[in-house]
């Protein structure tokens, strides 16, 4: 069975018995899962998909999920954070790897570190199809990612355009992917730096959230610079106060969440995607409960000002941005 499985995955069959997605980049891990699920549903629209976290996969659970069905239904079993599985469950998974069930695709998501390495090695030895999902921490990696996005879409983008997009958006891979998709959909012909500059910097949501991100990070000067740019490109002031409020509320929510909670649980309980949990966790350093309260008060005052309660909306926004940046350094 092991030899047959290795042969089947030699051609990178998306519906190989086992797919191993290795790394810590959430976007790429999610794409690896979606690719398998899409292929399974293309083969059988009634495919049963089970998406499990380590605490949901107890000893014996995998055997139940992969036992022969009376109707021989196709099934995809997804195991997230496989490195966190219990020792007994890892034994179950290793046993399954030696004899995968027909019509079932097991997708193991593994961080790739030392923890749970035995399972990682066993899956590789068994011939699992492997998808690399490394965290992209270097600018060069993100640049290569953008080039790949355009190439996969069958579109041409100049090197300067790819660099401009990375410079404009930053390190968030989901936002980079979204921007590439939007440009491909909206722009005909080659995508160049001028197109990226005109299109991206004029997007109201992008501009307003850039202001908010810099402010909640305590970077007052950069936040004010982003604010002036947003105002000069016609962004509605109410969008900026809304973005500021969302940013500060996210910090308040995460700060009051139980310590040690799993990212997946936090995402569900707080209504944020996992990638945003990671971003807010970085932004909340330096914040205190009093700081959150003071910032929300300042934003409320600015919101009233831009909706007709004041004579100078831009001044009201500047005051709010400075107040938020100051609150971001309130701890200690």
- In which band, very low, low, confident or very high, does the pLDDT at 269 lie, cut at 50, 70 and 90? confident
Report whether pLDDT(264) > 70.
no
Which CATH fold would you assign to the domain 2-133?
Answer: Rossmann fold (3.40.50)
Report whether pLDDT(242) > 80.
yes
- In which band, very low, low, confident or very high, does the pLDDT at 332 lie, cut at 50, 70 and 90? low
Q: What is the mean pLDDT of residues 295-308?
A: 90
Note the maximum CA span of the chain.
76
**Local structure of 256: helix, strand or coil:** coil
Tens of pLDDT, residue by residue over 46-61, are 999 999 999 889 899 9
**Which architecture does CATH list for 207-327?**
Up-down Bundle (1.20)
| 210 vs 98, residue with greater confidence | 98
For residue 107, the cross-strand partners are 19, 78
- In which band, very low, low, confident or very high, does the pLDDT at 4 lie, cut at 50, 70 and 90? very low
Tens of pLDDT, residue by residue over 94-106, are 999 999 988 899 9
| 119 vs 309, residue with greater confidence | 119
- Displacement of CA 320 from its chain's centroid (Å): 29
Residues in Cβ contact with 258 at an 8 Å cutoff, skipping those fewer than 6 apart: none
What's the mean per-residue pLDDT of the chain?
A: 85
Tens of pLDDT, residue by residue over 139-173, are 889 899 999 999 999 999 999 899 888 877 777 78
One of 1.10.8.60, 1.10.287.10, 3.40.1160.10, 3.20.20.20 is the CATH number of 139-200, namely 1.10.8.60
Report whether pLDDT(33) > 70.
yes
> 195-201: long-range contacts at Cβ-Cβ below 8 A with a sequence spacing of 24 or more?
195/161, 196/161, 196/164, 196/165, 196/168, 197/164, 197/168, 200/164, 200/165, 200/168, 200/169, 201/168, 201/229, 201/233
Distance CA 61, CA 66 (A): 9
β strands within the chain, DSSP E = 18-23, 48-52, 75-79, 104-110, 129-133
Domain boundaries, the chain: 2-133, 139-200, 207-327
Distance CA 157, CA 150 (A): 7
Written as one string, the DSSP assignment of 113-155 is SSTTHHHHHHHHHTT-EEEEE----SHHHHHHHHHHHHHHTT-
């Amino acid at each position: 069975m092991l030899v047959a499985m290795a042969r089947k995955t030699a051609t990178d069959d998306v519906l190989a018995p086992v797919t191993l997605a290795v790394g810590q980049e959430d976007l790429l891990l999610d794409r690896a899962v979606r690719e398998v699920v899409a292929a399974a549903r293309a083969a059988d629209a009634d495919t049963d998909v089970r998406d499990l976290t380590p605490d949901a996969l107890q000893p014996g659970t995998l055997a139940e999920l992969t036992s022969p069905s009376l109707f021989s239904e196709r099934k995809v079993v997804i195991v997230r954070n496989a490195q966190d599985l219990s020792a007994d469950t890892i034994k179950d998974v290793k046993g399954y790897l030696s004899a995968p069930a027909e019509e079932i695709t097991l997708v193991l998501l593994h961080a790739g570190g030392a923890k749970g390495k035995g399972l990682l090695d066993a899956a590789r030895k068994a011939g699992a199809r492997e998808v690399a999902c490394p965290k992209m921490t270097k600018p060069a990696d993100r640049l290569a990612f953008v080039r790949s996005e355009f190439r996969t879409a069958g579109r041409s983008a100049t090197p300067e355009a790819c660099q401009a997009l990375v410079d404009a958006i930053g390190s968030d891979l989901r936002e980079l992917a979204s921007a590439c998709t939007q440009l491909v959909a909206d722009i005909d012909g080659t995508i160049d730096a001028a197109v990226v500059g005109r299109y991206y910097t004029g997007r109201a949501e992008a501009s307003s959230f850039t202001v908010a991100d810099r402010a909640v990070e305590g970077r007052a000067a950069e936040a004010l610079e982003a604010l002036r740019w947003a105002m000069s490109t016609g962004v509605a002031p109410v969008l900026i106060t809304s973005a500021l409020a969302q940013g500060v509320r996210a910090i308040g929510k995460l700060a009051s969440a139980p310590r040690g909670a799993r990212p997946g649980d936090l995402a569900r309980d707080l209504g944020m995607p996992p990638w945003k949990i990671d971003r807010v966790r970085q932004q909340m350093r330096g914040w205190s409960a009093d700081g959150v309260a003071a910032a929300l008060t300042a934003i409320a005052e600015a919101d009233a000002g831009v909706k007709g309660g004041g004579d100078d909306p831009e001044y009201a926004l500047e005051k709010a941005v400075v107040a938020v940046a100051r609150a971001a350094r309130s701890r200690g």
